[in-house]
Amino acid sequence: MHPLLHRMVERLPEMLAGIGTLVRCESPSADHDAVARSADVVTALGTPLLGGEPERIVLDGVTHLRWRKGTGDGVLLLGHHDTVWPVGSLESRPFHVENGILRGPGCFDMKAGLVMAMYAATELDDVTLLVTGDEELGSPSSRELVEEEAKRCVAALVLEASADGGALKTERKGIARFEVHAHGRAAHAGLEPEKGVNATVELAHQILAVSGLADPAAGTTVTPTLLTSGTSTNTVPAHGDFAIDVRARTVAEQNRIDAALHALRPALDGATLTVVAGPSRPPLESAASQALYARAVALAAELGLPPLTRAAVGGGSDGNLTAGVGVPTLDGLGAVGGGAHADHEHVLVAELPGRAALVTALALDLTESRR
């Protein structure tokens, strides 16, 4: 067995205990107090492993943590400690390990990955470990922090959970959210509907137009989602709006959709439209991961691990942000398992040492190659 892999195998019991500690501290993204408590637990776990306490960074009430070893401009290990699970989820989904499978809310996405990052960092002299607290919300407070840390480093290794079968994530679609607001004119729906301008009807026209912007061949989805309109059942609606979820593989496609949405025009006389752009993440294009994936494949073979696979996925992560500022990025290096955000969320225990060893070997290789 490769010495590095052997060390990680020996430390597996410690890793499992650490994962249990983090999972048992619930940390839903929108609950800032819970995220702050989780940051305390992450700090207590990581401080003895990394040789010191992290810098605690609170932005818009959200607690993020940053450890730096060495110059801080080597490799960025990136993860988050917030989850989608509300406080109380542990009551019906307690942390436990049985038959080689670890379960508990947030274990796969991505508290197991955080522990792996810590143990990888113990082997490294020049590394930054950044742990954010609002990734599941789209990183509204931490986006600039992630981007600036990435710019300092030679590469970003993202400890998000793997794709199916342990595949690394070498491509992620960019995500953009929009709202379309239709403004009409109210009137009595029974007495004189002709005097109104129906915002609901205007929205119907716009929803069909927006849906037509999708390009399945290019992998671009444009999905109208949440819809609201009107104030009562007997009034012509004067206002309504709907939300749009956009996923695209390339910046060019993101720009095309953005321009098309802002070019929407009313279909009804007397109606007006307002298009509001919401949070967005750029795509993680395959070019940002290609060289790192090739290195990872070679290192996995040296470590005696099974051959790696890769996948393109629709969900976003902070890896989108690091790739968006031009930093080589490899994602999905975290736990192998499944069920992110679902009741069957789980981690395969036997895969933990190998993945931690792979992250460590890749970070060491990147650090050595720049000397």
Burial of 7 (0-12, 13-18, 19+ CB in 10 A): middle
Beta strands 75-80 and 127-132: pairing type?
A: parallel
Give the active site residues. 82, 135
Burial of 286 (0-12, 13-18, 19+ CB in 10 A): middle
Neighbour count for residue 235 (Cβ, 10 Å)? 15
Tell me the CA distances in angstroms from 151 to 174, 287, 290, 363, one per residue in order. 19, 17, 19, 16
* Amino acid type, 131: V
Neighbour count for residue 11 (Cβ, 10 Å)? 17
* Amino acid type, 304: G
How far is the C-alpha of 113 from the C-alpha of 167, rounded, in Å?
14
Coil, helix or strand at residue 150: helix
Sequence-ordered list of residues with C-beta below 8 angstroms from that of 281, at least 6 positions apart, any chain: 138, 139, 174, 175, 176, 316, 320, 321, 324
What's the gap between Cα 37 and its chain centre?
Answer: 21
Q: Is 236 left (phi over 0), alpha (psi -120 to 50) or beta?
A: beta
Coil, helix or strand at residue 146: helix
Which of 156, 102, 125, 137 lies closest to 326 in space, CA to CA? 156
Structure-token match 């051959």, residue found: 307
**With contact defined as beta carbons under 8 Å apart, do 43 and 56 qualify?**
yes
* Amino acid type, 5: L
How far is the C-alpha of 32 from the C-alpha of 28, rounded, in Å?
8
